[in-house]
Amino acid sequence: MTSIKAVGAGISPRRPASRRRNAGPYVWLIPAFALLLFVVGYPIIENINASFTTAAGGTDQYVGLAQYKSMLSDPLFYHSVLLTIYWTVGVTALQFLLGAVAALAADRSSWFVRRIRPVLIIPWVLPGVVVANIWVVFYNEDGLVNSLLSLVGIHSDQAWLANQNTALPAVILAAAWKGFPFYFLLLLAGLQSVPVETREAAKIDGANSFQTLKGVVLPQMKAIVITSLVLGVIATSNYFDGIYLMTGGGPSNATLTLPVWLYNTAFSEFDIAKASALSVIILLIVLVPVIIRLIAQRKRSRR
């Protein structure tokens, strides 16, 4: 009688079903990835290549790291880096705070809240040019901001965007109003994804609304909060149109963030090689939060 072992010896081991993958669906993705590589990857490679050259005598000459050395030795670079950090932290904090407050309010099911939710998205859907022009009018000497201050007894006739000390905070406030619906939508979706049973169980155990939010709701929204902040930091650090349209980087470089300086270098000074080097530096800076997020996610998946 043939033994079971002998019969089994002729059978090749099969991979578990969970580990077997069909390559067919991935083949259909090749054209999309090829197009993405051409549209995104090729310009990045060409831009990096241009950062190692300089225009001399009508032709591009290879100069190595000279553009980067020139950039890093320019005091205006560090001034723009500090302004970009100030801008990114300020706008992200305000947008997240406004979005969180709006999401907590909209999470209620009252008739008024259901009617007001669509209105909260209006700043986000408005074109950046429209928003910038609206806030320029608000910040004029006879604009809405000074009018509101006069109602509370503070008489002011200054142009907020023309003042070196108030220009950047004024633009930060305008950008926070423009972008807070992004956090509002994501955080509202996160709040509504938390099971109602867990909240009710916390209330039965004697937890108040704040304790329920802190101990039950926020831990289940951790992934959404972190992801929204990472995406928000990337978008805010690269934000250009609102600052440029409202101040152009002035007055006296008071709002000259890295993207605005990049635009002025490329299209006002027409120094494409220097602008290319600056864009590579901005790319490396923007990659920092992405890398941190990926490392943290990988460590968490290993645990």
Among 15, 42, 64, the domain-final residue is: 64
Judge if 151 and 119 occupy the same domain. Answer: yes
In this structure, is residue 236 part of a structural domain?
Answer: yes
Q: Tens-digit pLDDT profile for the chain (303 aa)?
A: 444 444 444 444 555 444 456 777 788 888 888 998 888 888 888 888 888 888 655 567 888 888 888 888 888 999 999 999 999 999 999 999 999 998 888 887 666 667 777 888 889 889 989 999 999 999 998 888 888 888 888 888 888 999 999 999 999 999 999 999 999 999 988 888 888 888 888 888 888 878 888 888 888 888 899 889 988 998 999 899 899 999 999 898 999 999 999 999 888 888 888 889 999 988 888 888 888 878 887 887 777
Question: Could you give the angle at which helices 144-151 and 128-138 cross, rounded to 10 degrees?
Answer: 40
- Alpha helix locations (H) across 139-271? 144-151, 167-193, 196-204, 209-212, 218-220, 222-237, 241-246, 258-267
Residue with tokens 């580990």, as numbered in its chain:
19
Do residues 177 and 222 both lie within one domain? yes
The verdict on 60 and 81 lying in the same domain is no
Q: What are phi and psi of 61, to 5 degrees?
A: -115, 140
How far is Cα 279 from Cα 73, in angstroms, rounded to an integer? 16
Q: Examine the domain organization and report whether 141 and 50 are in the same domain.
A: no
* Centroid of chain to Cα 28: 31
| Domain contains 1 | no
Return the bridge partners of 53, or none. Answer: 62
pLDDT for 5: 46
Task: Find the Cα–Cα–Cα–Cα dihedral 271, 276, 279, 284, rounded to 10°.
Answer: -140
Q: Position of tokens 């880096």?
A: 81
Length of the chain: 303
Strand partners, 233: none
The confidence score (pLDDT) of residue 10 equals 47
Closest alpha carbon to 271 in 66, 26, 40: 66
Q: What is the pLDDT of residue 109?
A: 66
In a domain, 6, yes or no: no
Structural domains of the chain, count:
2
Domain with 205, as residue range(s), is 75-302
Q: Are residues 136 and 28 in the same domain?
A: no
Residue 131 has what pLDDT? 93
* Residue 61: strand pairing partners: 54
Give pTM, 2 decimals: 0.82
